[in-house]
Amino acid sequence: PRLHQDTAVFAGMALAHQLKRVRHAGRDLTALPLEALHELRKDCKRLRYAAEFFQPLFPERRGRRFIRRLSAVQEALGLLNDGAAAAGLLAQLGRAGEGYAAGLVMGVAAAGGGAVRAEVQVAWRKFHDTHPFWT
């Protein structure tokens, strides 16, 4: 039966399903550990790819706004993940990761972590307040 559906109807259903996953995963954003935020980023990426693919079926302006705000969330989450990845890589170096340069890297990652979390929250709020373009 889905093969005989209107393409825009199918697209709306697929996008709504992905959006529900993203919103559910980010429902308590401030309390999420880094691993859960990384999973949220991957869910955002899946939604963005689907939105970019189906966007030509819907009004362009609303689609661009939705995708731009979703991309901002994904970018902020990526910066947060980069800081965590740097710390993990330094830990793998053992004693070599304990020197002055490693301390600088860890300091920059730690100092930026709070600011990036705030950036994630701002981007999330803007995205969450954006009306889905397919409805």
- The tens digit of pLDDT for each residue in 11-36 reads 999 999 999 999 999 999 989 998 99
Which of the 8 DSSP states describes residue 16? H
Task: State residue 1's pLDDT score.
Answer: 67
Say if residue 134 is exposed, middle or buried (CB neighbours under 10 Å; 0-12, 13-18, 19+): buried
Task: State residue 104's pLDDT score.
Answer: 72
The reported pTM is 0.80
The lowest-confidence range among 80-84, 103-107, 118-122 is 103-107
**Rounded to 5°, angle at Cα 29 from 10 and 116:** 110
Task: State residue 109's pLDDT score.
Answer: 66
Task: State residue 97's pLDDT score.
Answer: 64
3-state secondary structure of 116: helix
Chain centre distance of CA 48? 9
How far is 39 from 122, CA to CA, in rounded Å? Answer: 19
| pLDDT surpassing 90 at residue 37 | yes
